[in-house]
Amino acid sequence: MPVLQKKALFSAFIICQVLRIIQNYMEVSPAKSLILSATIHGGSYFFIQPLELKNNSIQRAECEIRKSLYAEKEQIQKIFCDGRKFSGTVGIYMSKGDIHRGGRSVAKVELDNGTILYYKPHSLDKNIKYQELYNYLCRKTGISCRTVQYLSHDSYGWEEKIENIPCKNESEVEHYYFRMGIHLFLGYALGATDLHGENIIAHGEYPVIIDMETYPGYLKQQSEKDGSSVEEKINKSTEIKLANSVIHTGMLPVLTWGRGNRGVLISAMGTEEKIKTPFKLPVVKDDKTSDIHIEYEPVEMQIKECIVRLNDQVINAADYTECIIRGFCRAYMVAMADKKVEVMLSGFFDGRSRVVLRPYPTVCNVSYGFVSSRII
């Protein structure tokens, strides 16, 4: 056997052994193993044909989802499928959101009867509480509401898929922004954050919040160490006051990831479907080739589900400022006069809440007194 062929064969053997060790370490099933074959071509080089590698945590997550799906089959058919039966799934698509609790993430589940729903690896009790409060305020302010279907448990839940659809007429656009005013009030009263364009879907005349993990939020408080000069203390005080205002919710159009007039809009009331980060992030290039490498470049983000349209026309929220203010004020007045709203608000502070850390000092103050201070 020629020397070159021997070297190629030996290299192929070493790589196979290393990959088999990785396979055993990752506990990948044999059917999905890394190595299919190592073939010598012309005695001068070899080719290793890889198969799909599934991380063990993803496999476990998929098993959990399927187990829950079939255990609750009758309930799911009744709540999400209008009684239509299903026998299996077309697909389970992982990583449709942030990672939670040991690598678990939101998953899009497509059933074979055409229904699409979302599996979320945390309780949706907070979503149900919020919907009850929001619907109550809608009724009290004289506007209809759209009820989202949920099935909640202690450590996970199922949520209806909400589609981004356009408004049919001018009246629906006005109603949409009136309802956004109610959402804005509740986000402000509960100190919510992270309500950017990826977490709200424009469903015709109904704005639907699909991520409520930051309810309730926290107040930012100024420390005596914040700034040594008078100017620095004033700047920090102004920053904190703005952070504790409606701006903190993330719903209003505010430049972020930049200074001055430089930055991007990722709010829930933007008009741009695609934005680019004003800084560079690591991006994997040529990921399915031997030339795989990392380059640093601005990343394009798609925030299109929150875009409001009247037929094919993109709507600018600035043209409906009065509707937003009217919805906010009407909800505020109801909350001031109705004791039931106060009781419902207090119910948010008996569970878990996600805090999105920011690069400046914060003090968490998640207490009922905080809610009272917001609406008095």
pLDDT tens-digit profile of 118-162?
999 888 998 999 999 999 999 999 999 999 999 999 889 999 999
**Is residue 143 within 8 Å of residue 108, measured between CB atoms?**
no
For residue 11, CA distances in Å to 19, 46, 51, 375 come to 12, 9, 19, 71
Ranges 201-205, 230-234, 256-260, 372-376, most confident: 201-205
Give me 314's structure tokens.
């993109």
Residue 167 DSSP class: B
Given this model, what pLDDT does residue 16 score? 52
Give me 194's structure tokens.
């992270």
Calculate mean pLDDT across residues 216-223.
Answer: 56
Residue 47 DSSP class: E
- Smallest CA-to-CA distance from 243 within 345, 328, 235 is with 235
Residue 20 has pLDDT above 80, yes or no: no
Q: Which of 122-131, 164-173, 208-217, 352-361 has the lowest mean pLDDT?
A: 352-361
Backbone angles phi, psi at 9, to 5 degrees: -65, -40
Return d(Cα 323, Cα 174) in angstroms, integer.
6
For residue 6, CA distances in Å to 10, 18, 42 come to 6, 18, 12
Mean pLDDT of the chain, nearest integer = 75
By percentage, how much of the chain surpasses pLDDT 90? 37
Residue 261 has pLDDT above 80, yes or no: no
Q: Which amino acid is at 310?
A: L
- Smallest CA-to-CA distance from 199 within 186, 185, 213 is with 213
Give me 160's structure tokens.
């209806």
Q: What pTM, to 2 d.p., does this model score?
A: 0.72
